[in-house]
Chains A and B, each alone.
Chain A
Amino acid sequence: MASTSSTSVGSGSTVVTWVLRLVVVGYLFFLIGWPSALIVRRTFEGGTQAFTEALQDPDVTHALQLSVVVALCAVAINLLFGVGMSLLLVRYEFPGKRALSALIDLPLAVSPIVVGLALILVYNPRFGWFGESLDAHGIQIIFAKPGMVMATTFVALPLVIREVVPVLEDMGDDQEQAANSLGANAWQTFWRITLPGIKWAVVYGVVLSLARSLGEFGAVKVVAGNISGETTTAPVLVQQKYQNFEQQTAYAMSFLLVAAAVVCLVIVALLRPKDHKPSRATATAAIQEKAS
Chain B
Amino acid sequence: MSIDVSGLTKTFGDFVALDDVTVSLPTGQLTALLGPSGGGKSTLLRIIAGLDTADAGTVTIEGREATNLPARKRNVGFVFQHYAVFKHMSVAKNVAFGLEIRKRPRAEIDKRVAELLELVHLSQFRDRMPSQLSGGQRQRMALARALAVEPTVLLLDEPFGALDAKVRKELRDWLRRLHDEVHTTTIFVTHDQEEALEVADEIVVINDGRVEQVGSPDTLYDKPANDFVMRFLGETTDLAGQTVRPHDIDVSMSPGVAGSTPGTVTRILRVGFEVRVTVTTDDGAEALVTMTRTLARSTGVEEGAKVWLTAAKGATAVPVMRAV
- Give the CA-CA distance A282 to B88 in the complex, in Å: 15
Which of under 10, 10 to 19, 20 to 34, or 35 or more describes the interface residues of A? 20 to 34
Indicate whether A184 sits within 8 Å of B82 (C-beta atoms), given known contacts A177-B51, A197-B87. no
User: Could you tell me how many residues of chain B have their Cβ less than 8 Å away from some Cβ of chain A?
Assistant: 37
Instruction: Select which of A192, A282, A285, A292 is within 8 A of B37 by beta carbon.
Output: A292
CA A286 – CA B81 in complex, angstroms?
8
Q: Is A174 an interface residue when CB atoms closer than 8 A count as contact?
A: yes
Contacts of B263 in A (CB 8 A): none
Which residues in window 119-170 of B have CB below 8 A to A? 131, 142, 145-146, 148-149, 157-158, 161-162
Contact B71 A177 (CB under 8 A): yes
**Could you say which of A180, A278, A286 contacts B72, with CB atoms under 8 Å apart?**
A180
A183 near B98 (CB under 8 angstroms)? Answer: yes
Q: Which residue of B lies closest to A284 (CB)?
A: B82
Partner of A184, one of B51, B72, B87, B158: B72
Q: Is A175 an interface residue (CB 8 A)?
A: yes
Of A178, A278, A286, which one neighbours B78 at CB under 8 angstroms? A178
The DSSP consensus for interface residues of chain B is loop
> Known: A181-B51, A181-B76, A181-B78. Contact between A175 and B71, CB under 8 A?
no
Q: Please give, as numbers and ranges, the residues of chain B lying within 8 Å of A192 by CB-CB distance.
A: 86, 97
Say if the beta carbon of B107 comes within 8 Å of chain A.
Answer: no
**Alpha-carbon distance between A282 and B130 when the two chains are bound, in angstroms:** 13
Say whether A289 faces chain B, with CB atoms less than 8 Å apart. Answer: yes
A193 at the interface (CB under 8 A from B): yes
A278-B87, A292-B38 in contact; A182/B97 too (CB < 8 A)? yes
Contact with A along B45-89 (1 / 0, CB 8 A): 000011100000000000000000011111111101110111110
> Could you list which residues of chain A lie within 8 angstroms of chain B, going by C-beta atoms?
174-175, 177-185, 188, 192-193, 196-197, 275, 278, 282, 285-286, 289, 291-292
- Nearest 8 pairs of A and B residues by beta carbon: A174-B84, A182-B98, A181-B78, A178-B84, A196-B88, A180-B71, A183-B101, A289-B81
